[in-house]
Amino acid sequence: MSDIIDGRAMARALSERTAQAVAMLKAEGIDPTLAVVLVGGDPASDIYVRRKISECRKVGMGSIERRMAADCGEQALLDMIDTLNADPAVHGILVQLPLPPGIDAGRVLDRIAPAKDVDGFHPVNVGRLSTGSQGLVPCTPLGIMMLLDSVIDDYRGLNVVVIGKSNIVGKPVAMLLLEREATVTVTHIETRNLPDIARAADVIVAAAGAPHLVRGYWVKPGAVIIDVGITRVVDHDGASRIVGDCATHELDHAKAVTPVPGGVGPMTIACLLSNTVLAAQRSMA
């Protein structure tokens, strides 16, 4: 039977440490504050934004919520970001993704001041991550590394297969793993013989957004499996539930797996708060 890596418990522990760091900053006269921008009315994004604001409150962090209509226009959004960039009371800025059609996400993310880019998506932070220098690291990959650290001491020479080459998860997590001297293979939609490649892995990070893509026979005994997928499916009886990228019920021979829900997802928001504390601490310097 494989171990289940409890993302909820780890996120709670991280948030407790963040709450302590927030209290220390406040004692020094800094009130760490996160600005969250939501454009349009995507229901899932609305839930994530509410959760981010409520988690800020729980750790004693300040938050600013800015909601804009889907048709607000790119320039209005860029102006909003300029205002938040210039506000010394704001330490972290996040624009919830995806953005509505007609708004260029690249231009929007480029506009956020790198020192306040707590999502770590700005090209300056992407560059810092790829050169192993100090920047802000994207939240989901940061959370994945913390989950992996709970079961792996030494990554040197381990074969890691990352499934999915997104800018938010696949590419940055590959960079973090390379930094630890793992041997990293990033696969994507055009990759041939994916099951064979996966079967050679000591660690699989499945971030394809394809429900139950990773089957039991893809996984070698003792491998560690990180499931990043979150897809809502509707059962025969009409009830909806969330499933990951891995057929977890076939993975008893793995060493450890992350559940969906309750694995990587909760770490994303906890890491967002810890990145905001980091940005606030750096702003003091």
Tell me: is residue 127 an annotated ligand-binding position.
no
Instruction: Tell me the torsion sign for CA atoms 253, 142, 112, 44.
Output: positive
Binding of residue 242 to ligand LMY7XDAE (CB under 6 A): yes
Pairing assessment for the beta strands 256-257 and 224-227 based on DSSP bridges: parallel
Regarding 230 and contact with ligand LMY7XDAE (CB under 6 A), the answer is yes
Instruction: Please compute, for residue 39, the number of CA atoms within 13 A of its CA located in the half-sphere on the CB side.
Output: 24
Q: Going residue by residue from 80 to 119, which x/- string records binding to ligand LMY7XDAE, judged by CB under 6 A?
A: --------------xxxx---------------------x
Distances (CA, A) of 55 to 11, 59, 133, 266, 270: 11, 6, 29, 11, 8
What is the smallest separation between the CB atom of 242 and ligand LMY7XDAE, expressed in angstroms?
5
Burial class (CB in 10 A: 0-12, 13-18, 19+), 81: buried
How many residues lie near ligand LMY7XDAE (CB under 6 A)? 17
21 vs 230, beta carbon nearer ligand LMY7XDAE: 230
Distance in Å, CB of 127 to ligand LMY7XDAE, minimum: 19
Short-list 54, 139, 55, 147, CA closest to 94: 139
Helix (H, G, I), strand (E, B) or coil at 235: coil
Interface mask toward ligand LMY7XDAE for 153-192; x: CB under 6 A = ----------------------------------------
Cα 184 to Cα 139, 189, 205, 218, 241: the distances in Å are 20, 17, 10, 17, 32
Of the ranges 23-31, 56-64, 80-88, 259-267, which one interacts with ligand LMY7XDAE (CB under 6 A)?
Answer: 259-267
Residue 140 interacts with ligand LMY7XDAE (CB under 6 A): yes or no: yes
- For this structure, is 52 an active site residue? yes
Rounded-to-integer distance, Cα 124 and Cα 133, Å: 11
Catalytic residue among 75, 82, 104, 119: 119
- Residue from 3, 71, 87, 96 carrying the catalytic annotation: 96
Helix H or strand E encompassing 275: helix 264-284
**What string of DSSP letters covers 2-50?**
PEEP-HHHHHHHHHHHHHHHHHHHHHTT---EEEEEEES--HHHHHHHH
100 vs 261, beta carbon nearer ligand LMY7XDAE: 261
- Residue closest to ligand LMY7XDAE, measured at CB: 265
Q: What residue ranges bind ligand LMY7XDAE (CB under 6 A)?
A: 48, 94-97, 119, 139-140, 230, 242, 260-262, 265-266, 268-269
Query: Could you tell me which residues are annotated as the binding site for NADP(+)?
Result: 164-166, 189, 230
